[in-house]
Amino acid sequence: MKIINKATSKKIKTSEDTFIKLKDGGDIDLELLLNKEGSTANIWGIILGSGDQIYNIKTTSLHTHPNTNSRVHIKAVMLDNSVLNYEGMIKISKHAQLTDAFLKNDNLIIGSNAKVNSSPQLEIEADDVKASHGVTISNVNEEEKFYLKSRGISDKKAQKILIDGFINDILIHASK
């Protein structure tokens, strides 16, 4: 598994599972190459934005051969004035029949000035594929936070518990 925890402005190409964990802002352009029949590769990502940090993240899943599988799941927690600009692309060439590809970007905005701009895209030239994408953008659930606080947990700790719960499934996938 490839691990990226520092943003870089250069393009990174990989054919293996990749875990992204960023907390200092920056740019990443990551291309996942599925260029062998039957290959599988995934990207899992956690973005933790705070202050005035800006993240420009681009992922591309490029399927060029048949029977390939990919999953891209990026989760972002944006605090303060932080900004995430995410562009995700699944490209399936005409030779990549029976491809199965999924792209998901889930975002948790904490603070009135944090922003997320997310653009998932599909470019499909093959006839027999399964490909989809999705984006969610939400705030901390105040009822859940209230419940934790009513059990004697501080506001700050309650927020941390909710953030940890939000990103936990990415950590589980990345640790396998």
List pLDDT tens digits, range 60-71: 999 999 999 999
DSSP string, the chain: -EEE-S--SSEEEESS-EEEEE-S-EEEEEEEEE-STT-EEEEEEEEEE-TT-EEEEEEEEEE-SSS-EEEEEEEEEEETT-EEEEEEEEEE-TT-TT-EEEEEEEEEEESTT-EEEEEEEEEE--SS-EEEEEEEEEE--HHHHHHHHHTT--HHHHHHHHHHHHHHHHHHHHH-
Report, as an integer, the average pLDDT of 5-25: 84
Q: Say whether pLDDT at 17 is over 90.
A: no
pTM: 0.91
Query: Structural domain of residue 86, as residue ranges?
Result: 2-175
Q: How many domains are there within the chain? A: 1
pLDDT digits (tens, 9 = 90+) for 135-174: 999 988 888 888 899 999 999 999 999 999 999 999 887 7
Tell me what percent of the residues of the chain surpass a pLDDT of 90.
73
